[in-house]
Amino acid sequence: MNRAGPLLGKRVLVTGSGPIGALIVAAARRAGAAEIVVTDMNSLPLECASRVGADATVNIAQTPDALDRYAIGKGWFDVLFEASGNAAALCGAFNVLKPRAIVVQVGLGGEMTLPINVIVAKEFDLRGAFRFHEEFATAVELLNKRLIDVRPLISDIFPYQESLSAFQTAGNRSTSMKVVMTFD
């Protein structure tokens, strides 16, 4: 959130609603975003994003042109959090961003080719985001004060003795979001 600047009253698009994308949704809601739209290729992560504060979700695999209405004019969104690490998600979002939008690249996916002409013409501010020690303390404080509720993201809980099953379950993105192991 810090890399995006103030979100109060802003329209936010999050591409990729895995655990990190969903946590971005929760934090953006907490920061006062006026509207949050989330995209993904799977239904379960989108359902979780709704539970933590997304106003609308779009399954890009089922309705690839669902964001087209946001491209009318010069774009709709003030801020993009790209959490999938997918170049197609990043570049595909450029049409729905307003001029001078802030683009925060969170997802890692390797090298990407970017349409520099679009970035320059719409004067996007492209920022990278990675986790550093300050963010961990903030996250723990938000959790301890119950200012952000991550329970909707936990799809399964396993005792550590069943770690193999836990990892197998976690590997199936269509049935699990965040798998937790307990060490009682």
Domain boundaries, the chain: 11-133, 152-184
Q: Decide: helix, strand or coil at residue 94.
A: helix
Q: d(Cα 76, Cα 13) in Å, to the nearest integer?
A: 9
Place of tokens 């798998």: 179
Q: Mind listing the pLDDT tens digit for each residue in 89-108? A: 999 999 999 999 999 999 98
Q: Mind listing the pLDDT tens digit for each residue in 15-46? A: 999 999 999 999 999 999 999 999 999 999 99
Q: d(Cα 84, Cα 70) in Å, to the nearest integer?
A: 20
Q: d(Cα 26, Cα 38) in Å, to the nearest integer?
A: 12
Q: How much is the pLDDT for 109?
A: 83
Amino acid at 12: V
Amino acid at 114: L
CATH number, domain 11-133, options 3.90.870.10, 3.40.50.720, 3.10.129.10, 3.30.1490.190: 3.40.50.720
Q: How much is the pLDDT for 113?
A: 87
Residue 22 structure tokens: 């969903």
Q: d(Cα 32, Cα 6) in Å, to the nearest integer?
A: 9
Contact predicate 52/152, CB 8 Å: yes
Categorize the per-residue pLDDT at 174 as very low, low, confident or very high, splitting at 50, 70 and 90: confident
Amino acid at 157: I
Give pTM, 2 decimals.
0.92
